[in-house]
């Protein structure tokens, strides 16, 4: 059975259709993050909008032929999730010391991209979900479980750690191992976008993790929140609009980097 799974993964790895769709998934992910960046900038200037994935998808849905673009984004994001699932199977080829970390990373990304793609599809079908409300409802469900506050706190810690990992990847430029950038000014520019984008997204995830931890400590799901909640919390700080604008620009940079990553990504598992 294991050999059959590995054989299927190898076949998928070299499937030209899946490879094209995976690159399209990077474009879709980049468009989504760029839209989030625009919404964050609007929020920083005092305007309305939900600065998260659902807010970005609802903005697309309101545009002419937005449903068609949403379906294209959904297909690309789900395909990218499938690609990471294939990469998780391919992690068996890695060194034993690296295998667990690669497996956890690829499975996590597979679940996230598939879930976000499903949200895009639901919005294309007419649903109007709220990521912020979903985060609060999920937190309420966890808090109602035995040892729920400890579990929610652990989730918050995990999200914050993921945020720190994004910041570290940006500062150390370790994301370059996932792409093949040209050794010229163009490659340096793309890498610069990656640095700014990874740091900005990492900061947002750290704030989300803190919000979840606060909800766990106070046993109050209303304190929990997603990306939009993180942005709103950031805007409440001294110099909040400036900080929010910086994060918005960072998300735009991350979106641009991810779109360009479609061209330079190393699609090998």
Angle between helices 185-218 and 240-264 (to 10 degrees): 130
**Nearest-angstrom CA–CA distance, 169 and 162:** 10
DSSP class per residue in the chain: -HHHHHHHHHHHHT-HHHHHHHHHHHHHHHHHHHHHHHHHHHHHTT-----SHHHHHHHHHTSTTHHHHHHHHHHHHHHHHHHHHHHHHHGGGS-HHHHHHHHHHHHHHHHHHHHHHHHHHHHHTT----HHHHHHHHHHHHHTSTTHHHHHHHHHHHHHHHHHHHHHHHHHTGGGGGB---SSHHHHHHHHHHHHHHHHHHHHHHHHHHHHHHHHHHT-GGG---HHHHHHHHHTSTTHHHHHHHHHHHHHHHHHHHHHHHHHB----
Give me the pLDDT at residue 269, please.
Answer: 53
Exposure class string for 91-124: b at 16+ Cβ within 10 A, else e: beeeeeeeeeebbebbbebbeebbebbebbbbbb
Residue 193 belongs to some domain of the structure: yes
| Number of separate domains in the chain | 1
Give me the pLDDT at residue 96, please.
Answer: 63
| Total Cβ atoms within 10 A of residue 253 | 24
Give me the pLDDT at residue 26, please.
Answer: 93
Residue 269 belongs to some domain of the structure: no
Exposed, middle or buried: residue 75 (CB in 10 Å: 0-12, 13-18, 19+)?
middle
Residue 179 pairs with which residues in a beta bridge?
265
Please give the radius of gyration of the chain, using alpha carbons only, rounded to the nearest integer: 19
Averaged pLDDT in 10-residue chunks for the chain of 269 residues = 54 73 91 89 78 79 86 92 83 63 80 88 80 71 76 85 92 88 84 91 86 76 69 80 87 92 78
Give me the pLDDT at residue 90, please.
Answer: 66
Residue 98 belongs to some domain of the structure: yes
Residue 211 belongs to some domain of the structure: yes
Residue 187 belongs to some domain of the structure: yes
> 94-113, pLDDT tens digit by residue?
566 566 777 777 888 888 88
The structure's pTM equals 0.84
Exposure class string for 166-177: b at 16+ Cβ within 10 A, else e: bbebbeeeebbe
Residue 142 belongs to some domain of the structure: yes
Give me the pLDDT at residue 7, please.
Answer: 56
Residue range(s) defining the domain that contains residue 212: 2-264
Give me the pLDDT at residue 44, please.
Answer: 84
């Amino acid at each position: 059975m294991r050999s059959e799974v590995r054989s299927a993964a190898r076949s998928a790895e070299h499937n030209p259709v899946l490879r094209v769709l995976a690159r399209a998934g990077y474009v879709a992910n980049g468009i989504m993050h760029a839209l989030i960046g625009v919404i964050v900038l609007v929020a920083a200037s005092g305007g309305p909008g939900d600065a998260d994935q659902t807010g970005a998808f609802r903005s697309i849905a309101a545009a002419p032929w937005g449903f068609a673009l949403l379906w294209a984004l959904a297909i690309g994001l789900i395909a990218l999730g499938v690609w990471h699932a294939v990469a998780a199977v391919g992690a068996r080829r890695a060194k034993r010391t690296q295998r667990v970390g690669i497996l956890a990373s690829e499975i996590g990304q597979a679940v996230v991209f598939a879930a976000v793609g499903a949200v895009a599809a639901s919005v294309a079908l007419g649903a109007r979900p709220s990521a912020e409300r979903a985060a609060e409802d999920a937190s309420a469900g966890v808090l109602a479980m035995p040892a729920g506050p400890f579990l929610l706190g652990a989730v918050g810690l995990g999200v914050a750690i993921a945020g720190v990992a994004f910041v570290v990847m940006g500062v150390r430029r370790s994301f370059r191992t996932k792409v093949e950038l040209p050794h010229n000014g163009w490659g340096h520019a793309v890498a610069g976008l990656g640095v700014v984008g990874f740091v900005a997204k990492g900061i947002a995830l750290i704030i989300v993790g803190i919000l979840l931890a606060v909800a766990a400590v106070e046993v109050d799901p209303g304190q929990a929140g997603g990306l939009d909640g993180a942005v709103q919390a950031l805007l409440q700080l001294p110099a909040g609009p400036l900080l929010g604008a910086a994060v918005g620009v960072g998300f735009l940079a991350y979106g641009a980097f991810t779109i360009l990553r479609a061209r330079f990504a190393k699609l090998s598992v």
